[in-house]
Structure 1
């Protein structure tokens, strides 16, 4: 089975998901994984599709035409799938703080410096009830290598969060 990752972004409007899903379905391909969201008035799609080589070639062509028609930025990349992550332990990280620049960079740097892979990351900024203070929240999934001691990682993360005025949690996924 061959795989491809598709990325599109364009002005949000009804029918984008239907148009993409219809082409995928008509080519008898399978949507394995996807993320779709509106960010700042733009609708973004990130989708993993699997199937035969020829149908995937047709998909690239048809989605290219659809992207032109709907004025979408479009990227199509064939992939072999995820690398083997055997032995790595999945953990969920959550961080909440009063919003300020640099939170994602600091948190990503903390985990990157320990060779911990981030494989999913979601952020949102919302207003606190009553005060209206912007509150930033981050939830991400990471893969901890087997050579890292979880107790030491938890302690390091606790002190890291304390040093940066972050409320953080690290728990098994």
Structure 2
């Protein structure tokens, strides 16, 4: 959700026409890993005449989290919403869905990948995210985990973060400041442009 929607301000976007295929529905679910609804949801999306535009699947602990975006005509999404309402009655599945808008590309943001590894301790991720926030850098994707090192048994922390750096920031200075922060926290880190 963007800041303008959170603040209750109207979005400066033209809503898609009722007959267009640019309508989107965001679907989020939580369930036990053995009962992931991915296949069921993919079928419901196809049966409603919609496309699965984006999908993220994560297993965290003993649970599975899905974030899906379905796109299609207004009436196809309405059909899908009815199907999801029936599916949500399953008490072992936590499901929410709502209409959303396609993200408008922002060519002022440069995509960079940050990777961090260190001995695990509380507060590492907070300090990293604070640094990005302070420098007007958006966190586009984030994956972090704790694990036990195979060789020594040490408790470790690892994060992969895709960020959007405003093009008016000086990259070399930003990288130096970030690596200086990581040095002060005794983190091994890299910041490289995303190449795709």
- Calculate the TM-score normalised by the size of structure 1: 0.94
Q: Residues 114 and 96 from structure 1, CA distance in 2 versus in 1: closer, same or farther, beyond 3 angstroms?
A: same
Q: Deviations over 1:131-162 (max 9, x none)?
A: 21111110011111011000101100110101
Q: Would you say 1:129 and 2:129 are equivalent positions?
A: no
Structure 1 unaligned spans of 5+ = none
What is the 5 A alignment of 1:5-154? Answer: 5-14=26-35, 16-69=37-90, 71-154=92-175
- Deviating runs (4+, > 6 A) in structure 1? none
Higher RCO (Cα < 8 Å, 6 or more apart) = 1
More strand by share: 1
Q: Is the 8 A contact 2:145 2:157 kept in 1?
A: yes
Change (3 A) 1:90 1:15: closer
Is residue 156 of structure 1 aligned with residue 174 of structure 2? no
| Partner SS, residue 95 of structure 1 | strand
Q: Which runs of 5+ in 2 are unaligned?
A: 1-21
Deviation at 1:14, TM superposition (A): 4.5
Q: State the Cα distance separating 1:115 from its structure 2 match.
A: 0.4
Backbone CA RMSD of aligned residues: 1.3
The number of aligned residues is 173
